[in-house]
Amino acid sequence: MNFLLDEVARATLRLADAGIPSPRTDAEELAAFVHGVRRGELHQVADADFDALYWECVARRAAREPLQHITGHAYFRYLELQVGPGVFVPRPETEMVTERAIRTLRDMDVADPLAVDLGTGSGAIAISIAQEVPRSRVHAVEIDSRALEWARRNITGAGYQDRVTTHLADMREAVRELDGRVDLVISNPPYVPTRDAEDVQPEVRNYDPAPALWSGNDGLDAIRDLERIGRRLLRGGGVMIIEHGDGQGVDIPRLFPEDSGWRDVRNRKDLAHRDRFVEMRRVEQ
């Protein structure tokens, strides 16, 4: 057996013992990172090229430091994003939420679609929309200055600084110049209930920034704010898409009542058939 692959097998056992949910994948990703190859190319690394730094990275991951903080990057749709301390690491589940937003904008009869991403974090959603929706313009809002620096780095790195405008602001007051003009508002807001803090994985609880996680005792405080923000920003017929946590899909639709100008409020499921995000439309003016 290739020496590196033997070491990856040993690392897999160590990560499994540490409770890592995907030990083999993480062991391979770390090996690929340290040796400057893709996961599928690990067999090409010669025994003489084995780098002992690998075991330092494995030890960090076994201590529950996020894989993406160790490698410095995260993959999201067609993007490779820079991430690290101070920014929420984008999750695979958010990719399908973003997919829905992209399809919605493409289907609109609008020459230059206008979108707002509230709580942009790394910029993953905003950049993906700019990349995949021709002629779209995206305003990315973030309250955390450290996170916004990551977003700006990623926006510039992807070459979309002319299509994505960043705002360091509280989303409740942000981009008032766009009131009533926005085609789509999307958000992956904080939605973890503070009452569940002890049940949250260490990678999340100890490394993701608090403003991106906690949202009151029931986890819905930010989503209550988003209802008012969406009413302010969206044009008639505009769409809002909000990601949420497991078990919250039952409670959220009632926060967007018809008498407040919302229609077609519905939950959408992820690939595991769990409620993952809500979608709703503003009534035509």
Local confidence band at 4 (pLDDT 50, 70, 90 cut-offs): confident
Confidence (pLDDT) at 52 = 85
- pLDDT value at residue 246: 86
Residue 246, token pair as written in the block: 């497991």
DSSP string, 103-120: HHHHHS--SS-EEEEES-
* Largest CA-CA distance found in the chain, in angstroms, rounded: 70
For 183, counting Cβ atoms within 10 Å of its Cβ (0-12 exposed, 13-18 middle, 19+ buried), the class is buried
**C-beta separation of 103 from 279 below 8 A:** no
Binding residues for S-adenosyl-L-methionine: 119-123, 142, 188
For residues 143-171, give the mean pLDDT. Answer: 97
Confidence tier at 162 by pLDDT (50, 70, 90) = very high
| 17 CB neighbour count, 10 Å cutoff | 10
pLDDT value at residue 272: 80
Taking only the tens place, the pLDDT of each residue in 47-58 is 777 888 999 999
How many whole angstroms from its chain centre is CA 217?
22
Q: Distance between CA 129 and CA 139 in Å, rounded?
A: 11
**According to the model, what pLDDT value does residue 269 have?**
86
What percentage of residues in the chain have a pLDDT greater than 70? 99
Binding residues: 119-123, 142, 188-191
pLDDT above 80 for 223: yes
Q: What pLDDT score was predicted for residue 236?
A: 96
State the average pLDDT for the chain: 94
Q: How far is it, in rounded angstroms, from Cα 115 to Cα 101? A: 9
Closest CA to 99 of 138, 68, 131, 123: 131
Closest by Cα among 132, 129, 119 to 183: 129
* Average pLDDT for 201-224: 94
Predicted confidence band of residue 29 (pLDDT cuts 50, 70, 90): very high
> Which residues make up each annotated binding site for substrate?
188-191
